[in-house]
Amino acid sequence: MARLSISHLKKIYGDFIAVDDVDISVAEGEFLVLLGPSGCGKTTTLRMIAGFIPPTAGSITIGEQDVTNLPPWKRHCGLVFQSYALFPHMTVAQNVAFGLEMHKVPQAERGPRVAEALRLVRLNGFDERYPRQLSGGQQQRVALARALAMEPKVLLLDEPLSNLDAKLRLEVRVEIRELQRKLGLTTIMVTHDQEEALTMADRLVVMEKGQVRQIGTQRELYERPADRFVAGFIGRSAFLDGEVTAPGLFRTAGGLDIACAAASVPGPATLALRPERIAVGAEVEGLPNRFTARVEHASYLGALLDIQVSLDEHDRMLLQIPNRAGLIEPKPGESISIGWAEDAGLVYPRGA
Amino acid sequence: MSAGSLRLGRYALNGAAGLSLGFILMPLIFVTWLAFFRQEIPSFPPEGYSLQWFAAAAKNKPFIDGFLLSLQVGVAATLIGLALGVPASLALVRHRIPLGPGVSTLLLLPLVMPGIVLGTATYVFQIEIEIATEIPVLGSLLGLVAAHSLVVIPWVVRLVTASLVGFDRSIEEAAQNLGAGPFTTFWRVTLPSIRPGLVAAALFGFVTSFGNLEMSLFLVGPGRTTLPIAILQYLEWKIDPTVAAASLIQIVLIGVAMIVTDRYVKLSRVV
């Protein structure tokens, strides 16, 4: 296993910038997830690492070797495709052995290594089956075994779970993560599924429009999102537009003054509040920011209630209340008191 | 529509299908029947049955020589057709080549061109080459094979292109990711994946070449005739059932080839 670093990576198609000056480094044995909406450049980045797309500029280093100009077959990174891409005319064992054969592993060594790879993904005994005789989940595991058998320097996963049904996805998530940890694989996974990313990653890279918005752990991304996009993309946020009038003071578009520790530089800005940080009803007692809000819409989500409220005609926001015993569900049109602490919100200058 | 008229419609459709099938099979049935007639001049009803014409066909030197030549030409033309048609199909499907649709139509043209036209054109072309280079092309095996390759190529291009269109290219990427260079990837992954198309193309290409009469008529040399021509020449003098017997042998051989092929690749799926 090796570390991987990408510096100033860029890919331009005509006048479309698919990947814009991306810098990422992955430590040995780390599980890094590239996360973002479709078209954000995450898959293009992964395919540049695998060598299928030549970068317009920048460099990629695996271990100590600069691989930027190496063809895919000399990069030694195992890629698990979204479609699995198993060879349909070969058995499971032949599929897994293919990489070993290409890397000129002696015949005598191949058998045990294929068996070992299949054992890791719990598919021993499936050697002689053909891919079409396997379920989606099994095919996915063969693809993983095939990538692992050649002992790649890094493991690349391209939305590996998106073709599995919801229940299986949860299982395979855990399996891949455990295997990755056990083998100490340096891994980069691409996904657009936020929950998947949060459960599997050591660190996440949030991308949008070809650029890296933020790199960090789950906690860092959730609690200190670098910009408004990340605040809205990782978890949910209520956004109030307005301006910072003085350090510590934010005024909404509707003219409400809010005490906010994060407000520093005066100017147009957006205040982002996590729904669970907003107190409701009797709990607002003693909080610096207290308002009466009108319920617009309430949705029952089981463990939580999602409530859309308006503070005035300009300012709307989302709250989440835990579904505790004895809770009286607010009805649209009712007034409720809400409030939050001074340190609850994050402020992003607008236009940035 | 009522159930009654629906059923009536289905009967009509089945009837029409049966009629067409019968029409197609009619010559086949008659040739088979005729091959076993005892008398020399075919007349109905037959005077009796015998296998003598099969023996006669098997002893007929022009038929034997023609069969061997047709076999030779068919195999060579099929191999050349594959060698040219597969790369052409790859280029057409995978790359945006200039005038792509035009090239594609051009490659399919020999299939729709009347055989006489194709034969005349090739004949004139080969004469011109002979005049220009003084290499005896016309009437040579080489000239014949070259011309036959022409009718194999459309089959290869059509069937291989069809296989490539539904081909998931990520399996080629997977091979490269696992360490296979472009050539190994093509040989180990691409070709096996389009095998049904290749086999079908080879079969149909070979049959087309084997049965070709119009073009071969222009191009065969003295003492070098293909089987269809040998049969035609025989018919100019005699109309005894030897020809029917020879035809039946051909039909059986091609039938067997199709059945064997179909066991490995389902022809109905690629054609």
Q: What is the pLDDT of residue B271?
A: 57
Residue B17 placed within a domain: no
Give the DSSP H/E element, type plus range, for residue A123.
none
Provide the token pair at B11: 């009967």
Distance (Å, rounded) from C-alpha A301 to C-alpha A46? 36
Give the DSSP H/E element, type plus range, for residue B181.
none
Residue B107 placed within a domain: yes
Q: Do A155 and A80 contact (CB within 8 A), yes or no? A: yes
- A211-216: strand order across its sheet: A77-80, A154-158, A187-191, A31-35, A203-208, A211-216
Distance (Å, rounded) from C-alpha B148 to C-alpha B76? 9
pLDDT 10s digits, A38-67:
889 999 999 999 999 999 999 999 988 999
The whole-angstrom distance between residue B137's C-alpha and the CA centroid of its chain comes to 23
pLDDT 10s digits, A212-271:
999 999 999 998 899 889 998 888 888 889 999 988 889 988 888 888 888 888 889 999
pLDDT in tens, chain B (271 residues): 567 788 888 999 999 999 999 998 888 888 888 777 777 777 777 777 777 777 777 787 888 888 888 888 899 999 999 999 999 998 888 888 787 788 888 888 888 888 889 889 988 988 888 888 887 877 778 888 988 999 999 999 999 988 888 788 899 999 999 999 999 999 999 988 888 888 888 988 998 898 888 888 888 877 778 888 888 888 888 877 788 888 888 888 888 888 888 777 766 665 5
Residue B54 placed within a domain: no
Count of CB atoms situated within 10 Å of the CB of B201? 31
Q: Band of the pLDDT at A92, cuts 50, 70, 90?
A: very high
Residue B28 placed within a domain: no
Residue B42 placed within a domain: no
Nearest CB neighbour to A89, from listed B174, B178, B193:
B193
Residue of A nearest to B172 (CA): A85
- CATH number, domain containing residue B203: 1.10.3720.10
The domain tally of chain B equals 1
List residues in chain A touching B: CB distance below 8 A.
50-52, 71-79, 81-83, 85-89, 98-99, 102-103, 146-147, 150
Best of A79, A86, A87, A163 to mutate (most B CBs within 10 Å, chain B): A87
| Residue matched to tokens 């100590």 | A64
Residue B255 placed within a domain: yes
Provide the token pair at A225: 């999102």
Distance (Å, rounded) from C-alpha B189 to C-alpha A89? 8
Residues B198, B200, B204, B210: what is their CA dihedral angle, to the nearest 10 degrees? 70
Residue B37 placed within a domain: no
3-state secondary structure of B179: coil
Distance (Å, rounded) from C-alpha B70 to C-alpha B77? 10
Nearest residue to A79 via CA among A104, A56, A53: A53
Residue B133 placed within a domain: yes
Average pLDDT, integer, range A137-150: 91
Count of CB atoms situated within 10 Å of the CB of A337? 16
Residue of A nearest to B169 (CA): A85
**Distance (Å) of CA B197 to CA A233, B156, B167, B169:** 47, 8, 12, 16
Q: Do A80 and A157 contact (CB within 8 A), yes or no? A: yes
Residue type, A65: Q
Q: Band of the pLDDT at A1, cuts 50, 70, 90?
A: low
Provide the token pair at A248: 């510590």
Mean of the per-residue pLDDT values for chain A?
89
- A16-26: strand order across its sheet: A16-26, A4-13, A57-62, A65-66
pTM for the full predicted model: 0.78
For B32, counting Cβ atoms within 10 Å of its Cβ (0-12 exposed, 13-18 middle, 19+ buried), the class is: middle
For chains A and B, what is the number of CB pairs under 8 angstroms? 67
Which structural domain, as residue segments, surrounds residue B104?
Answer: 60-269
